[in-house]
Structure 1
Amino acid sequence: MHRAERPVLEVADIFRVHGPAWRQTVQLSLGQLKVMSAIEQCRSAALGGHVLRCSGCSRTEIAYNSCRNRHCPKCQASAAHRWLEARQADLLPGEYYHVVFTLPAVISAIAWYNKAVLYGLLFDIAADTLRTIAADPRHLGAQIGATLVLHTWGSALTHHPHVHGIVSGGGLTSDGERWVACRPGFFLPVRVLSRPFRRRFLEELAALHRRGQLRFFGEYAALADPAVFARWLAPLRVCEWVVYAKRPFAGPEAVLAYLSRYTHRVAISNQRLVALDERGVTFRWKDYRAKGRTRYKTMTLGADEFMRRFLLHVLPSGFHRIRHYGLLANPVRRHNLAKIRGLLHATATGAQAAAANAPPGNLPPRFICRHCGAPMVIIDILQRSAPIRAPPAQRAAA
């Protein structure tokens, strides 16, 4: 693959310069420490690499290994590319819709201490809401497929959990014998989605509390008491919850273009970083409360605060941030897609057929010469000098 030019400033630079001193002053989880270590070492001699020679112009260069950590800004472009190639075979003709489910700020505050539980609940309730309303004969009356992607950040790196849903513009009847299309340009009423999403989420949240599966700390410690939690929950039953439905995508190709930007996005890309100086870290952000060009602004945070905000978004180990539901659920996806194409009398495109039938070993060249475009071959291996791991824990005094 082509390797893009290295940005002037990277998150890794901030971690390398300010991370060692900051780690001595704060208490971080093992997962956060591992993320810092991985990003600091990514594409450096510490992880080893390859000596490459171009098969066309005979140039040689060194390519250091990636850390492959899903929170690393440098590793996600290639990961997204591989994922999108696999998704080519899944696209159907017709419209796709984009729906966003967002947690209220007060729930986001306790979600940070209960990431695996509440992020998982956000996924499942959003998907269940989409499927239940779509199956209602008053709306679509069909089984739909959806891909949901979790984002936990706002543009200013604040904690803002929400899921982006990419939903097919129609579905199968309950007997699986007919395809029902949405009205052109319209998926489902936003308010009809918002109310059951709020009700179901709060029901499950209360059940988690009764089972003792929620943890509370600091200013929220009192919520461990059932009576206090019930009073805290009451206003959330009447306030509006944000469910946002965007206009349909302009064809399947636009769905892929969107997914390439969203599926493997991290809290902040290196391209948004502007400067690291005595004032701290300056970066570009989008203020959604403003309009037009005034939305695009710069913000400066102290290096410590920037690192704290970045690490807010480290996901629990093993947590899947991209999930497929309904017709696109992994065990039934291939069967359902074949059936739907048959009902729509649609054949897979050349790209889709190639993606679905490509033999495992038929891969494009891994390295391409940036000067002449010819494949590059590996002529030597550079061994790594350091493992990706968190700094060793301090031993307790004997």
Structure 2
Amino acid sequence: MGRPSLEVADVFHQHGPAWRAAQRSHLSLGQLKVMSAIEQCRSAALGGHVLRCGGCGTDQVSYNSCRNRHCPKCQSAAAQRWLQARQVDLLPVDYYHVVFTLPASVADLAYQNKAALYGLLFDLAAEVLQTIAADPKHLGAKIGATLVLHTWGSALTHHPHVHGIVPGGGLAADGKTWVACRPGFFLPVRVLSRLFRRRFLEELWRLHAGGKLRFFGERATLAEARAFKAWLVPLRKVEWVVYAKRPFAGPQAVLAYLSRYTHRVAISNSRLLAMDARGVTFRWKDYRAKGRTRHKAMTLEPAEFIRRFLLHVLPTGLHRIRHYGLLANGCRKASLALARALLQAALEPVAPDSDAAASAPPTATFICRYCGSPMGIVQIFTRGMAIRAPPPPRPPR
């Protein structure tokens, strides 16, 4: 796949210095690190290596990636590695997709308290799923869930929500049977929504009482307890959006979905259309519209584009993919083994363990783009180290 004609790094290269100067006192260290990493990704600044094709002899320079989790160019390989590790965790049951979204006013508060409220969003979404699933009136089972945090809307606005991937069933209270949900129906979304709203507002009040929330700008007055209590009142009356989609069409569909969502960043390079005198133009999806009119183009001034992109820089150490219940890291292996035994499903090995597979040659890491032969590393250069010579021109076909 060739390099996109326009990348987020190009916007940062051209307009980043002016943006840094204008916002010098407002940018966090994390945002500055993300900008620097994206600008240097796959460039000589990070070093790299020279590859040589064993077939046609072509040399190719390959630069190192920044591996920053906000970089649009570094997430594909990370997603593939994560999916290979998760493939063995799939059960032969229907999987459901549930989304928990924060209202706009709470989302504004979450931006000023990212670590506290993003973590709260994770934990309460998982708690609500497990509480309702454990209720005998609904499912009466202990379930597992994988939650993925997204903080953006299609137009790069701040829109925090978690996507949950949940097996359609769980272990009974005695751990001796597998309890499956009704075909095509997991849990009632209205019940999930009401409990999610109540628990989140309870925890918000607890954090405020403990002095663990910060307020800036228009929200500064909420630091006073009476004002914060009055601010919570209308939030108890509006509907909080919890959305449940139809079950996936088998385990492979789950993996395909996860590959698109687990390591997604605020905007991919493929969505960028142009950067000119008008600003940066990109594709976005208007979910309020219907049919083909959903897909639109938006143009933002470069400063506004950079501002919106940096809205979604996560605090250092915050995990954006988390596992709960049966899929929690501490008990996943034992829980899945028990679930498969109850479902009478044996775990298929990830790779065939046979003499033929053992004697098969390893797959080449680098492949020549011209003849398809394996390429080997002939030189490694570190940061700031000059390459001995430019690669030769492309050989004739």
**What is residue 393 of structure 1 aligned with on the other side?**
none
Q: Which residue of 1 aligns with 2:147?
A: 148
| Structure 2 CA distance for partners of 1:279 and 1:328, relative to 1, 3 Å | same
Shift of 1:56: 3.5
Change (3 A) 1:171 1:353: farther
Deviation, structure 1 residue 376: 1.9
Instruction: Look up the match of 1:161.
Output: 160
Matched, 1:15 2:16: no
Cα deviation, residue 58, structure 1: 2.8
Shift, 1:351, TM fit: 3.3
- Tell me if the contact between 1:41 and 1:67 (Cα under 8 Å) persists in the aligned partners: yes
Q: Does the Cα contact within 8 Å between 1:185 and 1:248 map onto a contact in 2? A: yes
CA apart distance, 1:111: 0.6
Q: List structure 1 runs of 4+ shifted beyond 6 angstroms.
A: none
Unaligned runs of 5+ in 2: 386-397
**Structure 2 Cα separation of the partners of residues 374 and 237 of structure 1:** 63
Find the counterpart in structure 1 of residue 216 from structure 2.
217
Q: How many Å apart are 1:349 and its aligned residue?
A: 2.8
Equivalent in the alignment of 1:57: 56
Shift of 1:350: 4.2
2:364, 2:176 → 1: CA distance?
43
| DSSP-derived class of the 2:233 partner | helix
Amino acid at match of 1:252: P
* Residue in 2 that maps onto 1:198: 197
Code of the residue aligned with 2:19 in structure 1: it is: W
**TM-score, length basis structure 1:** 0.92
Are the structure 2 counterparts of residues 211 and 65 from structure 1 closer, same or farther at C-alpha, using a change threshold of 3 Å? same
Amino acid across the alignment from 1:379: V
Aligned-partner SS, 1:24: helix
Unaligned runs of at least 5 residues, structure 1:
387-398
Partners in 2 of 1:294 and 1:215 — Cα distance? 40
Shift of 1:384: 1.0
CA deviation vs aligned residue, 1:135-191 (integer Å, no higher than 9, x gap): 000011000010000000000000000000000010001121110111111100110
Q: Which residue of 1 aligns with 2:388?
A: none
Question: What is the percentage of aligned positions where both structures have the same residue?
Answer: 72
Worse-matched range after superposition: 332-341 or 344-353 = 344-353
CA contact (8 A) 1:53 1:60 kept: yes
- What do residues 122-147 of structure 1 show as CA deviations (whole Å, max 9, x unaligned)? 00000000000000000110000100
Secondary structure, in 3 states, of the residue corresponding to 2:377? Answer: strand
- Residue matched to 1:370: 369
Any idea what the Cα deviations from partners look like across 1:25-54, whole Å, max 9, x if unmatched?
112000000000000000001111010112
* Cross-structure match for 1:320: 319
CA distance, structure 2, for counterparts of residue 218 and residue 363 of structure 1? 58
Distance in structure 1 (CA, Å) of the matches to 2:312 and 2:21:
20
Question: Where does residue 265 of structure 1 map in the other structure?
Answer: 264
Correspondences of 1:203-352 after superposition (within 5 Å): 203-351=202-350
- Deviation per CA, 1:231-278, whole angstroms, max 9, x where unpaired? 000000111000000000000000000000000000000000000001
Structure 1 residues 141 and 219: alpha-carbon distance in aligned structure 2, compared to 1, 3 A threshold: same
Tell me, in whole angstroms, the C-alpha distance in 1 between the residues paired with 2:20 and 2:282. Answer: 22
Aligned to 2:392: none
Query: 2:108 is matched with which residue?
Result: 109
In the other structure, the counterpart of 2:22 is: 25
**In 2, Cα distance between the equivalents of 1:172 and 1:371?**
53
**Separation in structure 1 between the aligned mates of residue 352 and residue 210 of structure 2, nearest angstrom:** 48
> TM-score if structure 2 supplies the norm length?
0.93
C-alpha deviation, 1:352, in angstroms: 7.1
Note the alpha carbon deviations across 1:206-234, whole angstroms, 9 max, x for none.
Answer: 00000000000001000000000000000
Count of aligned pairs between the two proteins:
378
Structure 2: distance between partners of 1:352 and 1:206: 50
> What SS class does the counterpart of residue 201 from structure 2 fall into?
helix
Distance across 2 between alignment mates of 1:55 and 1:127: 52
Rounded Cα–Cα distance in structure 1 between residues aligned with 2:328 and 2:371? 42
Tell me if structure 2 keeps the 8 A contact 1:146–1:167.
yes
Amino acid at match of 1:218: G
**In 2, Cα distance between equivalents of 1:249 and 1:17:** 43
Q: Deviations over 1:253-304 (max 9, x none)?
A: 0000000000000000000000000110000000000000000000000000
Matched, 1:379 2:378: yes
Distance 1:89 1:364, change over 3 A: farther
Local SS of the residue matching 2:112: coil
C-alpha separation between the residues in 1 aligned to 2:368 and 2:350?
25
- Structural mapping, 1:159-198, within 5 Å: 159-198=158-197
Amino acid at match of 1:291: K
Q: Provide the secondary structure at the position in 2 that maps to 1:351.
A: coil
Q: Which one-letter code corresponds to 1:222 in the other structure?
A: T
Deviation (angstroms), 1:364: 4.9
